Structure 1
Amino acid sequence: MSLQKNQNQNTNRGIYLLPNLLTTAGLFSGFYAIIASINGAFEPATIAIFVAMIFDGLDGRVARITNTQSAFGAEYDSMADIVSFGVAPALLAFSWALSSLGKLGWLAAFIYVACAALRLARFNVQTSTADKRYFQGLASPAAAALVAATVWAGVDFNIDGHEYNIVMAILMALSGLLMVSNFRYSSFKSIEWKGKVSFIMILAVVLIFVFVAAQPAQVLFAVFLGYALSGPITTFKVEKEIKLEHVIGDDSDADFDDK
């Protein structure tokens, strides 16, 4: 009996390689974005954040498909996310635009990082009870994508970020507040990916890829700005009387109608 117990303990001591390898790749991308931002290589830094998003989307799905989910993997993923989608976008924005604001600049960046950490902590404790169709608050990868796409578009148009430092500070603060808000955002998990679609739908997907490839910075900025605005817009459309708990507060206070 004790031998079997020891064997089970030895089995539990290991960690699954594939999903954690993908998480590590995402962490590396986020760390690279930090280094690139410090060195003033803003476009590679923004691309690295989007690469981190791809790995972040893959690790959880691979873990579920291969039945290699674990508590260690979930915690490791959160630690990697705070680097890739919290610290990296904040430092990117600070290096590109906010540093000229002095104390106000790094405080705006810190608000974003703190909200990203709070968003990830809230997500972890609500995993078992949350509605899988929606995210409560703007997901940290989407917020990071909005910041990164803004910088990328600015670099693409040869804009000096320090000339728009106030605008960037407001964007950082609003992105952070949206992450800890009660606004509901579609998780796209209710989409039936295995179902059949029309030929027109496939053609539309091809055209989307063409647009992204032609003008990636502008298209990604428009997409993630629209997604960031979709939460408040949906809430104001659904709720006849907006209350404070619909915007921010404990998740138990936010009682949205599903009309």
Structure 2
Amino acid sequence: MRASTLTTLLCSLPSAFSAPSQPPLTNTSALPLHFGLLLYPGFVALDAYSVVDILNTLSLEYSLAATFDVIAETETPVSTIPRASNSTFGQAVVVTATYEEYSASEKPLDVLVVPGGYDSRSAIPAAAPFIKVVYPRLQYVLTVCMGSFITAESGILDGRNATVSKVNWKNKMARARKEVHWQTPARWVTHGNIWTASGSASGIDMVLAWIGHVYGKPVADYLGYEYEFNRAKNATDDPFAEIWQS
């Protein structure tokens, strides 16, 4: 190898192995500004915050002029403990807006996050009608785990592809809304402006893929590096479908 070639290669090493730097947003047109997290008693914390914590970091690091509401049926703080449980171990989240406040007004809402829960069926009677009412004003709906079952009962998933956690898949499908095309294997599924993730941790993969779609792939990659998360970048990379025999 010629000395000049070796010198060129050696000089390239620092840049090739340097730490990643924060990339600029590659899409700055019509970005979502108003986010909401739909909560109900017994919600799964990781379902909710697998998405929300990454959105927190995105907003902080890029100084987004965005708003965020925790939306629930009533103003009472919402606990991770299901209503019928005798457990005393849980966390409660402060509600900043109710279903009625959004339903009865033109309050802007661009992205709605719907997590699953230990008692998601009890959430359907109030949450599903709310989702149906606000959906026309949304840019995106992001669901995690059983959040897709709640969302399905609003009717907005009819005729669309969607997924849910693979645990007890056959039992889930026995009571799933038949108008929805439920997918497995699938780490997450995108159909139009609705993104549905499988189990709790898959919400991280989904929201990073969504950030790549909306804000640019380099931004999503950078956030994944920050969280030191070995993300699945292929939506069908779903080993849990085989584990749970779905």
Q: TM-score surpassing 0.5? A: no
Q: TM-score, normalised by structure 2?
A: 0.26
Return the structure number with greater helix share: 1
Where is the strand percentage greater, Structure 1 or Structure 2? 2
Normalised TM-score (structure 1): 0.25
